[in-house]
Amino acid sequence: MVEMLQFGDPLADTVIREINELGKEAKRQLNQGLVHGLDSLDNPPPAIAAFLAQLETMPMWMDPGALRRGDVGDLSIPPLWTVLSSAGLQLVHVYASPSIAKLLVQTGSLTTMSSRRLVETGVWHEQAVLPGGLLRGAPGYVGTAQVRLLHARVRYTAMQHGWDDAEWGVPINQVDVARTWLDFTAVPFLSARKLGMVFSEEEQAERYRYWSYLGHLLGLGERFHLTVRSDDDAEALLDLLDSTIAEPDDNSRALTRATLEANVDALTAGPLSMLDRATLRDLFNGLLRFYYGDRFADALHIPPAQSAGLIPLLGAAAAQSWQLQRSTPETAALALKQFTAIRAADAAKAMPDHTAYQSNVSPEAHAA
């Protein structure tokens, strides 16, 4: 753990330095290579070529057929509960780390653009889990590579402006990436398990293998993601990572408030428009306490929820619906097909140009 706090992503970091030196032409070749492959480039810069070669090398442990199916486990969860464990609630767990929160507040990009960032993160997640989303050149593949390069750009900018890596570790180090990876891999499924939506050991193994490949694209070392094969493995690693961070600070709380407010704005204007803002915010407060526990919520100054007593009842309804959905192979397959179509349509509507993170790789996006 100590070693990984001082280790970032040398391959992506070199790409950022190369773009800084060579400018728009290097960025153009990078974007073309991400969509059309390394072979489409004529004499690419060396760092970009090495980066694309690593992305395009399929690990021996990955089944390409699984990529064509997508993250079946994630797509099997009913859309309502996908909304109620949405990117906003997952990001709250990310921001509980004061080192990550300090870095993000320092960039200013999340406190001033919470709504945009929330949409970008949600769309990236949907693109990554949809069938074929992580195949070379697909939106989830490109988006994941852009997230990785965004991490490298933020890392470079922070180090240029006095970041104390002796105290905080390298900006967006491997521990940070592993914890964030678990926030989108494990946290939603551990939450679903609390609601009675339980997956078999085989289904869990398939899901974590899929996300191991996403970790590979994201630049996360195999010593983290290949050790996770089940929810219990994921929970144990998450507990270990959480034990290494300090208590949430004011930066964590500021990001949490901004993100929850942006989440409420988005959902009351969309799929949960039947609820008013106060009711939905209270429901999120209750869900956060239910998912993460009172100690976690208290540290982030999340108030007690008046709706807390309703959440076990909602959970019981979710569990019953889940059992009916999975009562036969036919009903499970039909639900998967319907839910996948809904989420693909929602992702396309939210970010139709499929370029959520592309502009954030440029130096001008992170000027001091």
Q: Could you report the per-residue pLDDT of 335-350, keeping only the tens digit for each?
A: 999 999 998 988 887 6
274 burial level (CB within 10 Å; 0-12, 13-18, 19+): exposed
Using one digit for the tens of pLDDT, what is the confidence trace for 286-319?
988 888 889 999 999 999 999 888 888 888 888 8
Res 352: pLDDT: 55
Phi, psi angle pair for 45, to nearest 5°: -60, 150
Model-level pTM? 0.90
Query: If DSSP states are collapsed to H, E and C, what string results for the chain?
Result: CHHHHCCCCHHHHHHHHHHHHHCHHHHHHHHHHHHHCHHHCCCCCHHHHHHHHHHHCCCCCCCHHHHHHCCHHHHHCCHHHHHHCCHHHHHHHHHCCHHHHHHHHHHCHHHHCHHHHHHHHHHHHHHHHCCCCCCCCCHHHHHHHHHHHHHHHHHHHHHHCCCCHHHHCCCCCHHHHHHHHHHHHCHHHHHHHHCCCCCCHHHHHHHHHHHHHHHHHHCCCHHHHCCCCCHHHHHHHHHHHHHCCCCCCHHHHHHHHHHHHHHHHHHHCCCCCCCCHHHHHHHHHHHHHHHHCHHHHHHCCCCCCHHHHHHHHHHHHHHHHHHHHCCCHHHHHHHHHHHHHHHHHHHHHHCCCCCCCHHHHCHHHHCC
Distances from the Cα of 167 to the Cα of 10, 98, 160, 164, 175, angstroms: 20, 12, 16, 6, 14
Residue 110 pLDDT = 54
Do residues 68 and 132 lie in contact, with contact meaning Cβ atoms separated by under 8 Å?
Answer: yes
Per-residue model confidence (pLDDT) at position 116: 75
Q: Which pLDDT does position 353 carry in this prediction?
A: 54
Residue 63's region, left for phi above 0, alpha for psi from -120 to 50, else beta, is beta
How many other CB atoms sit within 10 Å of the CB of residue 42? 6
pLDDT tens series, the chain, 368 aa: 788 888 999 999 999 999 999 999 999 999 999 999 999 999 999 999 999 999 999 999 999 999 999 999 999 998 888 877 665 678 888 889 888 888 887 766 555 566 777 778 888 999 999 999 999 999 999 999 999 999 999 999 888 888 887 777 888 899 999 999 998 888 888 888 888 889 999 999 999 999 999 999 999 999 899 999 999 999 999 999 888 888 999 999 988 888 888 888 878 877 778 888 898 889 889 988 888 889 999 999 999 999 888 888 888 888 899 999 999 999 999 999 999 999 898 888 766 554 445 545 555 544 43
Q: How far is CA 253 from the centre of its chain?
A: 19
Q: Among residues 49, 77, 149, which one has the least CA distance to residue 356?
A: 149
Give Cβ neighbours of residue 13 (< 8 Å, ≥ 6 apart).
152, 155, 156
Calpha distance 221→175 (Å, rounded): 10
